Amino acid sequence: MLELRNLSVRYGAVRALEGVSLQAVPGGITAILGANGAGKSSLMRAISGIAPVAAGQVLLDGQDITTLPPPVRARLGVAHAMEGRRLFRQLTVEDNLKLAWSFGARREKLAASLAEVYARFPILETKARTAAGLLSGGQQQMLILSCTTIRSPRFLLLDEPSLGLAPIIVQQIYGFITNYAAQSGIVVMIAEQMATLALRVSHQGLVLRRGRVVLAGAGEELLRGNDGKTLAASYL
Amino acid sequence: MDDFFFSLLLAGISVGAVYALIALGLNLTFWTTKTLNFGQGSLMMLCAMLTVFLSSQGLAAALAVLGSLVLVAALGMFIERWTVRPALTSSGGSMGWVVSTLGFGIFLQGMAAKYFGSQAMAFPDLVFTAQDFVTLFGQYVSLQYLVVLAVAVALILTFEIFVRCTVWGHAVHAVSLDPELALVQGIPVRRLILGSFMLSSILAGVAGVLIAQIGGTVDPAFGFDLVLLGFVAAVLGGMGSSLGALVGGLLVGVISKLVGGYVSTAAEHGIAFALLMLALAVRPQGLFGRPEVSKA
């Protein structure tokens, strides 16, 4: 289980996150919603260890990891797909995958893991020797998802996986995420601006506004409750 | 082939091999942090001077070299922690490290002058003496030159294989491309950076010992202009490329020795910087450097 207790993140004088608490259980998807600058990315960065935590705690299965450096958290099973399609752009597709696998949990052999990725996204096999920076946006997102899942994580954080992609690709990517979450039974967290998209697949949702939680509940409830007016209002 | 040309070529290749080692050392820290230790020259000097000092205390030559290398490696860690890291973190991607690494080098030079004196000290013979030679194509070839060349080529091949074929090589490259992403992927970025500074300092130390061996003496000012030539070699070959460091080093070494022999020794260094300017104008990524590729 992934748990946040009164988590606050500050960049100098800027308060990015203020007293956020949250519990995410394995096998479920948690949607983190909110407009630009609401604190979604800061929340995820605080979990993976690259945002300055001013107060509060991050716990993985009851273990306090608030002060652990990012590589140690990664070894504990945190996989973070950062916003802005972060990849090693000069490295080839396969080198990106190999690198992610090498520093992951290595639950399966490299060859088997690669075969699994290529079976799911055949285009990545075709482009295996291409520099990752030269892929299309959709292909890059497929590679990012594969890089995070090839590490056999226990806590998967996806920051805006739909950003800037064509609707048909978004559907494909969300299909993959839902399947993966159901099969692997791990904690999955998605940060999204497109609320309905994320809530449709999520078990619980959390709406942030200026770093504070303004709305929280089951996914379905947030989507349908009060005809979605409450949800819409929380964005304004 | 006349003797004069051949001897210049040979001298050029062996000093070129040392430039290549310096360039390789500069590359190492460039790989992980995109910074260069401009104080490398002082580490070369210090390692050679410590070797002289330790062997004058009765230590065997091999142990003296080893001990000096260990001390220089420790200094490398110190440089990363106290001159490079603060400069990189304080004002976000500033160029402060240029001044701080150079400044620390000058400091070391001053300390060496204070404690070892500013007179040139004779460097002991390590493996071969200046009188040992073999005949190659009817020419006398100093064995010291061959040792320098062999060490440089062996180290450069090792690094090339490490970077191309091992996971850690890819990890080092990854750290230079996007340190934050490397961190969240579980790559021990801090340790890699520290390691790169240690290894870079060791390479500087090896280069220092080798070139002191050829020259026969060391003094506190030794090494300072050598680093500049190593820098030219690194840029010429392509910053970050090990093979480029070797080719760049040999080119700088041979061309400057030839110019020195046929034109004037005063032009030896000048021609190296002319090469640098030419390279920057015609092929800024260097002979073996990769231009950056990316799609928005």
In chain A, what residues touch B185 (CB-CB under 8 Å)?
A: 74, 99-100, 103, 147, 151
Put simply, the answer to whether B167 touches A99 (Cβ < 8 Å) is yes
Closest chain B residue to A132 measured between Cα atoms? B294
Residue listed under structure tokens 């520093």:
A103
Average confidence (pLDDT) over B106-111: 91
* pLDDT reading at B154 higher than 50: yes
Does residue B289 lie in a domain region?
no
Nearest to residue A27, comparing CAs of A194, A158, A179? A179
Please report which confidence band the pLDDT of residue A135 belongs to, taking 50, 70 and 90 as the band edges: very high
The arithmetic mean of pLDDT across residues A72-87, rounded, is 92
Query: Which ipTM value was assigned to this complex?
Result: 0.91
CATH number at residue B149: 1.10.3470
In 3D, which of B169, B230, B177, B193 has the Cα closest to residue B80? B193
* pLDDT band, residue A164 (cuts 50/70/90): confident
In chain A, the percentage of residues whose pLDDT exceeds 70 is: 98
Q: What is the mean pLDDT of residues B66-76?
A: 94
pLDDT of residue A40: 92
Domains of chain A, start order: 2-77+154-235 (3.40.50.300), 86-151 (no CATH)
pLDDT number for residue A48? 95
Rounded to a whole number of angstroms, the distance from the CA of B84 to the nearest CA of chain A is 20
Q: What is the mean pLDDT of residues A185-190?
A: 94
Question: Residues B183, B171: contact at Cβ < 8 Å?
Answer: no
Three-class SS of residue A15?
Answer: strand
Which residue of chain B has the CA closest to A47?
A: B184
In this structure, of A97-106, B6-15, B130-139, B251-260, the range with the lowest mean pLDDT score is: B130-139
Ranking A13-22, A36-45, B120-129 by mean pLDDT, the lowest is B120-129
What does the block give as tokens for B22?
Answer: 């310096």
Expressed as residue numbers, the domain containing B116 is 3-282
Across residues A74-84, what is the average pLDDT? 93
Contact A30, A181 (CB under 8 A): no
pLDDT(B116) > 70? yes
Q: Share the mean pLDDT of chain B.
A: 87
**Pair of tokens at residue B71:** 């001390």
Count helices and strands (H / E) in chain B.
Answer: 12, 4
User: Given strand A78-81, what is the order of strands in its sheet?
Assistant: A78-81, A155-159, A187-192, A29-33, A204-209, A212-218
Q: Say which of B178, B189, B292 has its CB closest to residue A86.
A: B178
CA nearest to A100 within chain B: B185
d(CA B133, CA B131): 6
In a domain, B296, yes or no: no
Asked, for residue B292, whether it belongs to a domain, the answer is no
- At B1, the pLDDT band (50, 70, 90 cuts) reads low
Closest CA relative to residue B111, chosen from B52, B63, B66, B49: B49
Partner B, chain A 1-40, Cβ-Cβ below 8 Å = none
Report which of residues B1 and B126 the model is more confident about.
Answer: B126
**Higher-confidence position of A118 and B295:** A118
For residues A110 and A101, what is the distance between their CA atoms, to the nearest angstrom? 7
Tell me the per-residue pLDDT of A40-63, one tens digit each, with 9 for 90 and over. Answer: 999 999 999 999 999 999 999 999
Q: Is the pLDDT assigned to residue A170 strictly greater than 50? A: yes
For residue B194, the tally of other CB atoms under 10 A from its CB is 17
Residue B92 has pLDDT above 80, yes or no: no
The residue ranges of DSSP E strands in A61-113, in sequence order, are 63-64, 78-81
Inter-residue contact B294 to A89 (CB < 8 Å): yes
Interface probe for A, chosen from B31, B184, B290, B294 (most Cβ of A below 10 Å), is B184
How many angstroms away from the CA of A134 is the closest CA of chain B?
5
* More confident of the two residues B92 and B175: B175
Residue A234, pLDDT > 90, answer: no
Instruction: Give the per-residue pLDDT at A227.
Output: 62
Mean pLDDT of all residues in B109-119: 88
Going A192 to A195 to A201 to A203, the CA torsion angle's sign is: positive
> A153-182 burial, b if ≥16 CB within 10 A, otherwise e?
bbbbbbbbbbbebeeebbebbbebbeebbe
CB atoms within 10 A of CB A6: 11
pTM of the model: 0.86
**Choice between A196 and A139, residue whose per-residue pLDDT is larger:** A139
Answer whether B290 touches A (CB < 8 Å): yes
Do the bridges between strand A78-81 and strand A155-159 make them parallel or antiparallel, or are there none, so unpaired? parallel
Q: How far is it, in rounded angstroms, from Cα A20 to Cα A5?
A: 7
> Do residues B235 and B280 make contact, with C-beta atoms less than 8 angstroms apart?
yes
Q: Which residue of A has its CA nearest to B290?
A: A90
Contact A74 B184 (CB under 8 A): yes
Q: Work out the pLDDT band at B294, boundaries 50, 70, 90.
A: low
Average pLDDT over residues B10-21: 89
pLDDT digits (tens, 9 = 90+) for B156-209: 899 888 888 888 988 998 998 899 999 999 999 999 999 999 999 999 999 999
For A101-110, B94-103, B105-114, B135-144, which range has the lowest pLDDT when averaged over its residues?
A: B135-144
Nearest Cα residue to B82 out of B98, B101, B59: B101
Query: Hey, which residues 92-151 in chain A have their CB within 8 Å of chain B?
Result: 95, 98-100, 102-104, 131, 133-135, 147, 151
pLDDT tens track for B227-271:
889 999 999 998 888 889 999 999 999 999 999 989 888 888 889
Beta strands in chain B (DSSP E): 121-122, 133-136, 139-142, 217-218
- Average pLDDT estimate for A21-34: 92
Chain A nearest-CA residue for B187: A71
* CA dist., res. B111 & res. B121, Å (int): 16
pLDDT score, position A233: 73
Q: Say yes or no for a CB contact (<8 Å) between B293 and A147.
A: no
Domain count within chain B: 1
B chain contacts of residue A69, beta-carbon cutoff 8 Å: 183, 190
Terminal-residue alpha carbon distance, chain B: 55
Q: How far does the CA of residue B202 sit from the closest CA of chain A (Å)?
A: 27
Confidence of residue B292 (pLDDT cuts 50, 70, 90): low
Question: Are the C-beta atoms of residues B112 and B49 closer than 8 Å to each other?
Answer: yes
Q: Amino acid identity of B296?
A: A
Measure in Å the smallest separation between the Cα of A54 and chain B Cα atoms.
19
- Smallest Cα distance from A211 to chain B, Å: 23
Q: Which residues of B touch A134 (CB under 8 A)?
A: 293-295
Residue B287 in this model has a pLDDT that exceeds 90: no
pLDDT of B296 reads: 46
Residue in the structure block whose two tokens are 């194509």: B137
The pLDDT confidence band at residue B76, using thresholds 50, 70 and 90, is very high
Chain B CA closest to residue A80: B184
CB contact under 8 A, B294 and A134: yes
